[in-house]
């Protein structure tokens, strides 16, 4: 039985542990130079005894992170590096890691050590009980109250919009079986929301609770602006509900307008209309104007994402790699 079949059997029956197969750990890196050595050291300790590769994807860092990745590769042979030609974003960096990972099991985690390398073995052990994917639910309140409420709001909105169960305490940290990785790699769509994409593919999944640590060094790479952009991308990219809401809203407003017109017509026939109504006219115009602009904007976002998709550009461009044979994109995975 091949290695791959063995692991599939493990995923189905839970009878065999996944200990023998290669584990790929993917971490996107954006200006995280000071975190990398500690990250690699702790992953290396956590995965002692298991064959593993650590794929660090430099998402256009400007702080010398790439130099650090090259240096670490000389110290830890398991380290591999991919360097983007510019900043393409967290979720695209994860995609690049997935494209190049060879493992039967693939772990995705942030590189700032908020996701703790020590939790990887718990994720793998849980997966070996017979799951295709185990996601980490982050305990601890390491993000401030504002950021947490924003995540919760986003999770609620997405659950409603996309009919998936979004959980605010789940980030990208998870382990996935090769079947899920292959399915996600086959999805070349933009915009990309890694968490939603892994949910969409199905298979068996569960979660475990892990401790969410403090950032090891540096500061967050997700300011409010990027968080909002991610939320909008998520809503537009994974749901047609905003369009349904708009259509419903249009009908509701039109019916109200029609009823009001009837009322006025009846009053006029009864001869009871005084020339008043400036305020109501103005508010109607403003409300309708605002709605028209918002509506066009939302439709525009959809058209924009269709436009982006039709250009069929590669999702990312590589500038360099360490320890990985690459073309710009693996040919089978170009759109
Ligand atoms: N990141 C990235 N590209 C970006 C922004 C962030 O690769 O454009 C990486 C970053 O290096 C980190 C992870 O994504 O490994 C999550 O970012 P961060 O920890 O700053 O987000 P937070 O935990 O504050 O939400
Ligand atoms: Mg973080």
Among 91, 110, 171, 192, the mutation site with the greatest number of ligand 1 atoms within 8 A of its Cβ is 110
* Ligand 1 atom 2: residue of nearest CA: 90
Residues 6+ away with beta carbon under 8 Å from 320: 66, 81, 82, 83
Residue nearest to atom 16 of ligand 1 (CA): 110
Which atom of ligand 1 has the smallest separation from the CA of 220?
Answer: 20
Q: Pocket residues for ligand 1 (CB within 6 Å)?
A: 28-30, 32, 59, 87, 89-90, 93, 110-112, 114, 220-222
Amino acid 158: pLDDT: 75
Who has greater pLDDT, 120 or 154? 120
DSSP percent split of the chain into helix, strand, coil, nearest 5: 50, 15, 35
What residues are paired with 185 via a beta bridge? none
pLDDT in tens, 168-214: 788 899 999 999 999 999 998 888 888 888 988 989 999 999 988 88
Closest CA to 83 of 103, 104, 101, 62: 62
Distance 89 CA to ligand 1 centre (A): 8
Alpha helix ranges (H) inside 145-193: 145-162, 178-186
Q: Within a 10 A sphere around the Cβ of 106, how many other Cβ atoms? A: 25
Pocket test for ligand 1, best of 150, 192, 222, 223 (most atoms within 8 A of CB): 222
Of 107, 112, 141, the residue with max ligand 1 atoms within 8 A of its CB, to mutate for a pocket test, comes to 112
Please give the number of the atom of ligand 1 that sits closest to the Cα of 30: 11
pLDDT value, residue 5 = 47
Q: Is residue 27 within 8 Å of 9, Cβ to Cβ? A: no
Atom 8 in ligand 1: residue holding the nearest Cα? 89
* pTM across the whole model: 0.77
Backbone φ and ψ for 126, nearest 5 degrees, come out as: -65, -40
pLDDT at 136: 93
Tell me how far apart the alpha carbons of residues 91 and 163 are, in angstroms, rounded to a whole number.
Answer: 21
pLDDT of amino acid 163: 66
Confidence category of residue 141, pLDDT binned at 50, 70, 90: low
Provide CB contacts within 8 A for 14, sequence distance 6+.
128, 129, 130
- Predicted-assembly ipTM surpassing the 0.90 threshold: yes
């Amino acid at each position: 039985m091949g290695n791959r079949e063995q692991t599939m059997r493990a995923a189905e029956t839970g009878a065999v542990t996944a200990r023998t197969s290669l584990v790929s750990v993917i971490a996107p890196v954006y200006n995280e130079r000071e975190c990398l050595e500690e990250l690699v050291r702790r992953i290396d300790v956590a995965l002692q005894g298991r064959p593993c590769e650590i794929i660090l994807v430099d998402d256009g860092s400007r702080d010398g992170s790439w130099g650090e990745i090259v240096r670490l590769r000389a110290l830890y042979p398991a380290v591999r590096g991919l360097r983007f030609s510019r900043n393409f974003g967290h979720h695209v960096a994860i995609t690049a890691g997935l494209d190049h990972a060879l493992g039967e099991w693939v772990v995705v985690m942030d590189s700032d050590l908020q996701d703790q390398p020590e939790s990887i073995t718990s994720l793998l052990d849980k997966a070996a009980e017979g799951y295709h994917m185990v996601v980490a639910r982050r305990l601890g309140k390491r993000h401030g109250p504002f950021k947490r409420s924003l995540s919760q709001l986003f999770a609620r909105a997405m659950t409603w919009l996309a009919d998936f169960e979004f959980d605010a305490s789940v980030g990208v940290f998870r382990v996935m079986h090769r079947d899920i990785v292959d399915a996600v790699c086959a999805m070349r769509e933009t915009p990309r929301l890694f968490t939603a994409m892994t949910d969409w593919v199905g298979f068996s999944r569960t979660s475990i609770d892990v401790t969410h640590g403090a950032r090891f060094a540096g500061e967050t790479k997700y300011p409010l602006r990027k968080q909002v952009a991610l939320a909008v991308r998520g809503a537009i990219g994974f749901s047609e509900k905003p369009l349904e809401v708009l259509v419903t809203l249009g009908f509701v407003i039109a019916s109200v307008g029609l009823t009001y017109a009837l009322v006025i017509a009846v009053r006029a026939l009864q001869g009871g209309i005084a020339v008043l109504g400036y305020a109501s006219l103005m508010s109607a115009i403003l409300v309708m104007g605002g709605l028209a602009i918002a509506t066009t904007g939302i439709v525009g976002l959809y058209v924009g994402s269709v436009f982006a998709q039709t250009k069929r550009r590669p999702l990312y461009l590589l500038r360099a790699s360490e320890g990985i044979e690459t073309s710009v994109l693996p040919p089978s995975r170009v759109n």
